[in-house]
């Protein structure tokens, strides 16, 4: 794969991720408003959850709530990314990869 082809692929994947994030956020708003929340409140709630747990974890929670047919999506989404006290569980977006690989130990 040439450098230009690799750059094109990276650009296309960034576009795909952006569209997927918009779709999932819209789905979250739709689920929450169907449950009785006003649209502004739903958007504010989801925005706060992005700040709390990050976009990937929130988007996974929204899709899981939609396909899991949960009765109360707000409670489900609110609980996403939380760990019960005393439990040692990885965050859903923690794939276990060491992102500091290659960094000198004194830089960590």
Note the pLDDT tens digit of each residue in 39-68. 999 999 999 998 898 888 999 999 999 999
8 Å CB contact between 41 and 74: no
8 Å CB contact between 20 and 57: no
Note the pLDDT tens digit of each residue in 76-107. 999 988 755 554 445 545 555 544 444 444 44
Residue 103: predicted pLDDT: 46
The C-alpha atoms of residue 35 and residue 6 are separated, in whole angstroms, by: 43
pTM: 0.66
């Amino acid at each position: 794969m040439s450098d230009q082809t690799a750059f094109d692929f990276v650009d296309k994947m960034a576009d795909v991720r952006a569209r997927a994030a918009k779709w999932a956020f819209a789905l979250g708003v739709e689920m929450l408003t169907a449950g009785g929340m006003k649209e502004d409140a739903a958007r504010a709630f989801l925005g706060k959850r992005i700040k709390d747990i990050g976009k990937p974890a929130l988007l996974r929670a929204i899709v899981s709530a939609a396909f899991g047919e949960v009765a109360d999506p707000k409670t489900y989404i609110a609980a996403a990314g939380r760990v019960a006290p005393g439990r040692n569980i990885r965050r859903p977006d923690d794939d276990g990869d060491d992102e500091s690989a290659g960094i000198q130990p004194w830089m960590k």
